[in-house]
Structure 1
């Protein structure tokens, strides 16, 4: 294994490196609540270590009920000197015993054969440990990716890292088709990279994910707010039948509703609202056309209807599928009034 001592005690990593750049180091902090990015970073570290040592010993440590002395015991030299990778998750729920052990460990880390990866998804629990890790560990940025603009940036970087090109309209189509979660989006991009040679175009996305585009929650929301009632209900039923949850649909309806409500009285350029609403400028341009058919009162009522449907979908109703379908139909009927 190459020397890794330079990573220990370095404060230059505190700002965070990309999950694509994660590599073995004595101390690694996966900071942020995006599970997909943390999993990708851990996979890179694990793969690098196993390429150097096939006999790698990997241990997942639940820090919420870790006993005193458990961490130093896992990190202590083994009989045959096998390299060890220890994952400590989740620091937001750490026990007092692990917190004490971890702070002591940072003062005198194990030898170069141990890689300790710690995962923190948020909260102030163990702040003293987090502050120390920010100065001594390689910090991997696993911040959540929620807005479509962030997802588009994620796609661009995925294809750039693979030295491939995805056309802008193809990237937008892929986010609409498979952007429900970052895991879905990452899997879809990897499939295109494997199966398609050359540049990725909108035609490629339509070929592989066209059905999902038509059945996606975003398509349901678009049809509903455009007043296309029959199409909205049909798309909704097809979406649910193909595995899209009613909660995903209410999330898409809520986002579209917020955009329309903000644009009804907006007198400036739509892209000026993009940052505030967490949407890409091209999305707001589309929503601006839709907003012309809405009044402020009707838009406010639509947002309220979505909130009620979302509550019902999350347990307030016995038939969440029907509750959301009723909201979809009501929104479509209110468009243009």
Structure 2
């Protein structure tokens, strides 16, 4: 996206693609003005006059990016304000509206379209289109993927676009050569249709020991590489540390920028933080570091190393 439009309407119920579209607009603005401030708002909490205040010229001439998610929940008087603003947007502000589609909030969609907003559609891809998504993600990493490998990846990882995107990125990083073939997919992602490392990580940080151990055993039995499970465990704990250690005064886009996560992930991590303290997170990360060394050849039994790490993570959860 070379230049961001004054007002962009993102329509569709695919959350991953909607969030990516929002980030693309923010990146386009910050490419021109790195100091642009992001105001990340939820539709149901936007008050009358708030948009006018946020889009008013700054004394310092800084640009503002106002992101309104769940725009279908905007109150009627705010909808009228947004539509009026879209017809004559401010020079030093960029407005992004995210709407899932559907009947609710249709007046907003129709109004801002008529007023001249740019429209980005992010509908959930059909099964066949998911293969195109995989190919596009791999191309974005400077690689190619064979049709058979793309199909194998879809069958192994499942239809969730976030996981597919992460899988494409990891394959591109960890494999050699221009083209990713079916053997590479089998080596890294066989069995992930049944369970993923991300699932195990969520269960562990939420303190669900029995479920987490069951999924570890099933993952190993279906061919998931132990290193992928360790990586997911470490990622889950690092997310806890980032969000838990962020300054209390940061909100919305500022917090997302500070911790390097999209808002949907921050909300999930916040829910998972209950029962966790800094000492517990530190102890859990140390246990995962030990497991990482063992599954990479430092230990005789990767399964035992993983189970021990999960036990320690769950036990560390109450270390406040």
TM-score where L is the length of structure 1 = 0.55
- TM-score, normalised to structure 2, is 0.58
Determine the structure 1 residue equivalent to 2:80.
Answer: 100
Q: CA 1:107–1:214 in 2, change beyond 3 Å: closer, same or farther?
A: closer
4+ residue stretches of structure 1 with deviation over 4 A? 213-216, 234-237, 239-242
SS of structure 2 residue aligned to 1:38: helix
Gaps of 5+ in 1: 1-20, 217-233, 243-337
Matches within 5 A, 1:181-260: 181-196=160-175, 197-212=177-192, 238=218
**For residue 306 of structure 2, what is the aligned residue in structure 1?**
none
Q: How many residues align?
A: 204
Q: Which residue of 2 aligns with 1:125?
A: 104
Does the 8 Å CA contact 1:22/1:140 hold for their aligned counterparts? no
- Aligned residue for 1:153? 132
Tell me which residue corresponds to 2:7. Answer: 27
Preserved contact between residue 66 and residue 97 of structure 1 (Cα < 8 Å): no
Alignment correspondent of 2:113? 134
Mapped partners of 1:125, 1:213: distance in 2: 34
Over the aligned positions, Cα root-mean-square deviation in angstroms equals 2.8
SS at match of 1:177: helix
1:44 to 24, 28, 33: 24
Residue 110 of structure 1, aligned match among 90, 97, 114 = 90
2:40 to 55, 60, 72: 60
Deviation at 1:148, TM superposition (A): 2.6
Structure 2: runs of 5+ lacking an equivalent: 197-213, 223-320
Match of 1:179 among 134, 144, 158: 158
Q: 1:162 to 1:23 in 2, by over 3 A?
A: farther
- Over 3 Å counting, the alpha-carbon distance change for 1:120 and 1:215 in structure 2 is closer
Q: Structure 2 vs 1, CA of residues 34 and 204 (structure 1 numbering), >3 Å: closer, same or farther?
A: same
Q: Matched residue of 1:54: which SS? A: coil
- Cα displacement string for residues 233-262 of structure 1 (whole angstroms, at most 9, x for unaligned residues): x999715999xxxxxxxxxxxxxxxxxxxx
Change in 2 beyond 3 A, CA 1:49/1:107: closer
Question: d(CA) in 2 for partners of 1:190 and 1:211?
Answer: 18
Whichever of the two has the greater Rg, that structure is 1
